[in-house]
Chain A
Amino acid sequence: GAGVSQTPSNKVTEKGKYVELRCDPISGHTALYWYRQSLGQGPEFLIYFQGTGAADDSGLPNDRFFAVRPEGSVSTLKIQRTERGDSAVYLCASSFGTDNSPLHFGNGTRLTVT
């Protein structure tokens, strides 16, 4: 079946602009996660949804970052007033949300802020 889909695969934007990154999880997966991966680093947790609600948004770096999942499926990560330090690969993952469920990752969106 289809895996986790992320669009766009690449996004180049100017400093100060607004961007939206989209994630389409595996059908039936109730849990959805956003992670950020910088070069040479492991994925860093941003936010976790169980259904439509954000169960844990403690990883969002500041109030310029926001994510939604209005119907419990597709999620959008929104970044306002982008800064060069926001440049990274943004990974989305989904799972069944049970104790032993592994994460299934998309291929990520590479965001470059110039």
Chain B
Amino acid sequence: AQSVAQPEDQVNVAEGNPLTVKCTYSVSGNPYLFWYVQYPNRGLQFLLKYITGDNLVKGSYGFEAEFNKSQTSFHLKKPSALVSDSALYFCAVRDAKDNFNKFYFGSGTKLNVKP
């Protein structure tokens, strides 16, 4: 069965430091992977995706993520965190074998960036 795990409920970093938000997945076919950010009382906003090709993908607001097939991971990274990056982050996976386009989401990781 398809699933996504975000092992950390919360990540705390100081402004200017690098950040990593972890995500691992399980699918039967090839994965399509996505990261979303959610600010309070708002819907989810798309950050970046991995479909195929280069394992390192770059997205909005300076975020990037690295696909690692052997570790079934897709960790979100940013070289230098900003206070405004504080939000809830969700990893999502779609199974390429899934004809109905269903996305599975992790439980979310709250990122706190301290000044």
Contacts and interface: CB of A to CB of B under 8 A. Distances in A.
A107 B41 contact: yes
A12 interface: no
A99 B43 contact: no
A99 B96 contact: yes
Contacts of A41: 107-108
Contacts of A51: none
Interface size class of A (residues with CB under 8 A): 20 to 34
A6 B49 CA distance: 25
A25 interface: no
B101 A31 contact: yes
B44 A91 contact: yes
Q: In which size bucket is the chain B interface?
A: 20 to 34
Contact of A33 (B34, B103, B108): B103
Contact of A100 (B42, B45, B51): B51
Contacts of A48: 100-102
Contact of A43 (B32, B42, B44, B51): B44
A97 B98 CA distance: 12
Interface centre among A41, A42, A95, A107 (most CB of B within 10 A): A42
Interface in B23-43: 32, 34, 36, 41-43
Contact of A97 (B6, B36, B45, B101): B101
B67 interface: no
Interface in B90-107: 90, 92, 96, 100-107
A102 interface: yes
Interface string A87-101: 000010101010110
Interface of A: 4, 6, 31, 33, 35, 40-45, 48, 50, 55-56, 91, 93, 95, 97, 99-100, 102-108
Given A43-B90, A93-B44, 17 more contacts: A40-B108, A42-B6, A43-B44, A43-B105, A44-B105, A56-B101, A93-B43, A95-B101, A99-B32, A102-B46, A103-B34, A103-B44, A103-B46, A105-B43, A105-B44, A107-B41, A107-B42
